[in-house]
Amino acid sequence: MAHAQDLRDDKSVEEAYFTLRSKHQIPALGLGTWKAEPNVVRDAVYSAIVENGYRHIDCAHVYGNEKEVGAGLKAAFDAGIKRDDIFVTSKLWIKFTSPEKVKDACQQTLKDLGLTYLDLYLIHWPIYLSEDADSPPKKRQVLPFDVKGVWREMEGLVERKLVRDIGISNFSVPKLEKLMSFASIKPAVNQVEMHPSWRNDNVLAYCNKNNIHVTAYSPLGSSSTDLFDTPEVIEAAEKLGKSPGQILIRWLIQRGVSTIPKSSSDKRIKENMEVFDFSIPAEDMDKLSSISSQVRTNAGEELLVSSEDDKDAILNEFWDGEM
């Protein structure tokens, strides 16, 4: 099977890349690095890029492993991979979502990754916490979030050529509408939780209408969702001779959504890439897209809700009723 780097010129596999509003291309499949241990993520990044053809690496300051991700990138570049062929995403953490902190935070990420620019920089969550905030935070540690001021600074990163594209993560439709009302550089990407048990249909529809590409995190579900045991997933996997994980990844790509499954296993990294040589038939796509139980597994509770708060009220307000 052709690796992702070979797929740009393969007209039969249009899903290998998606085109952003800037006309830059984002690979349909990337390697997520959340919860990847620093002592293994370097080798995972190298293996993904050099041995398995990945061209998108997704990371974030809060993951605590960007220096090691950078070491993996350097090893790949030393092996002959060109920087311009790799799409690197990182994210502005919630303790830096204040206008005066944006540039320094981005420059620290670039230093840690050993890069001169990012392909995509996202506001990780639409909140701002004090730098001494606990997890979860106390009420006094939740500060006013100046989304307009922060976005202006994000736009400045593009102007300084530190970042090629900017976007957001975990933004609901009302929050997207507010951002779109004043953004000079419109967001290129909204990265959100998405899988058959949390389709996020309203966000996807809004983003499609407004030319905001969607990237899915947690594409295989989480410890609280047994997607691999879902009858619809099992049925499609058996019919097509694929693994449940491959079905879940392919479902997203056929929705027009890129995705970033996390893995440190060479076997899983290779398996996740092998999704460009088949399609899920329409009837199975419909079944996967009609699972009645819809549960958001990453509501940000540990970031938003302290013991002083009414959890349901706080989360419902944050997600603008989409729980």
Contacts of residue 152, defined as CB under 8 A and 6 or more positions apart, other chains included, come to: 99
Q: Which helix (H) or strand (E) holds 102?
A: helix 102-113
The reply to whether 128 belongs to the active site is no
DSSP E strands, 59-126: 87-92, 118-123
Give 48's DSSP letter.
I
The residue to which tokens 């407004």 are assigned: 210
Q: Which residues lie across from 215 on neighbouring strands? A: 191, 258
124 is in an annotated binding site: yes
- 241: region left, alpha or beta (phi > 0 left; psi from -120 to 50 alpha): left
Q: Describe the crossing of helices 231-240 and 244-254 by its angle, rounded to 10 degrees.
A: 90
- 289: region left, alpha or beta (phi > 0 left; psi from -120 to 50 alpha): alpha
Instruction: Count other Cβ atoms within 10 Å, centred on residue 272.
Output: 28
Catalytic residue among 17, 63, 206, 217: 63
Q: Which helix (H) or strand (E) holds 272?
A: helix 266-273
Buried b (16+ CB within 10 A) or exposed e, 157-185: bbeeebbbbbbbbbbbbebbeebeeebeb
The residue to which tokens 């909204």 are assigned: 190
Active site residues: 63
Residue ranges of the annotated binding site for substrate are 124
- Residue ranges for the known binding site are 124
